[in-house]
Amino acid sequence: MGKTTLKKITYHEIMNMEKQERVHFVNSLGGFKSVGLIGTQNSNSQTNLAIVDSIIHIGSNPPLFGMIFRPGVVARHTLENILETGFYTINHIAEKIYKKAHQTSARYDRNCSEFEKTGLTSEYKNNFFAPFVNESNVQLAMEFKEKILLSINNTVLIIGEVKDVYFPENCLQKDGFLDIEKAETITCSGLDSYHKTIQISRLSYAKPDKIITLLI
């Protein structure tokens, strides 16, 4: 695409949008998202599965990830289960299960399991409390660590620590990089757009004295 004049939309125009238009628009603005399926169960063994598109790396030592929950959202049962039991799983989404993953966002009753409703398979292993998604190629066992209220808009940041990681062995590179594209992980944009990826390349560690001979 040649550089053309860009259209401008202001804060006030965003605030004046119809609600669904605003949600679609603003959700598109941050770039492609880290999306996964969050597996939980409550103390009565009622399982829950929710698609969450706000997974964020908080740190590596110890390994921590966060995610955002909005008040009153579909994923509220998931949030309740995490706070009640202290455990959850993060499961990457491959193209072969993206429709089922998306379907978990429907407002099912509390006594419905999205595993049953969508046909995804719950999997328990190594005595971890929360269920994994068997069809997922990359699975994280997570322990709840901290809940932080973001009072600016009453959302909640949930931070958890990685306890175990399951992945296809041939996707792990020697330097520790896990090739999630090879593991078929997809990404999403906005509320409902799903995307495969094509690796452009990995770049070496950037140093300040590098001679800039970069193509534009």
- Quick one: which segment of 40-48, 51-59, 79-87 binds a second copy (CB under 8 A)? 51-59
Find the binding residues for a second copy in span 185-204 (CB under 8 A): 185-187, 189-204
CB atoms within 10 A of CB 110: 10
Q: What are φ and ψ of residue 82, in 5° steps?
A: -60, -45
Determine the distance from the C-alpha atom of residue 37 to the mean position of all C-alpha atoms in its chain, rounded to a whole number: 7
Q: Name the one residue in this structure whose structure tokens are 């996964």.
A: 36
Instruction: Select the residue interacting with a second copy from 6, 44, 111, 127 (CB under 8 A).
Output: 6
Per CB under 8 A, the list member of 42, 55, 129, 144 interacting with a second copy is: 55
- Taking Cα atoms as reference points, which of 122, 145, 98 lies closest to residue 49? 122
Among 16, 22, 129, 130, binds a second copy (CB under 8 A): 22
- Burial (0-12, 13-18, 19+ Cβ within 10 Å), 98: middle
Q: Give CA angle at 170 (168, 176), nearest 5°.
A: 90
Tell me which stretch binds a second copy (CB under 8 A): 42-50, 76-84, 91-99: 91-99
Regarding 73 and contact with a second copy (CB under 8 A), the answer is no
From the list 40-48, 75-83, 110-118, the region that binds a second copy by CB under 8 A is 110-118
For residue 183, the SS3 value is: coil
Q: How many CB atoms lie within 10 A of CB 53?
A: 20
Nearer to a second copy, 35 or 41 (CB): 35
- Closest to a second copy by CB, 84 vs 210, is 210
Which residue from 52, 43, 37 is spatially nearest to 155, judged by alpha carbons? Answer: 52
Is residue 110 a contact residue for a second copy (CB under 8 A)? no
Quick one: which of 60, 72, 111, 127 contacts a second copy (CB under 8 A)? 60
Q: Does 211 bind a second copy (CB under 8 A)?
A: no
- Contact between 84 and a second copy by CB under 8 A: the answer reads no
Q: Which is nearer to a second copy, 45 or 212 (CB)?
A: 212
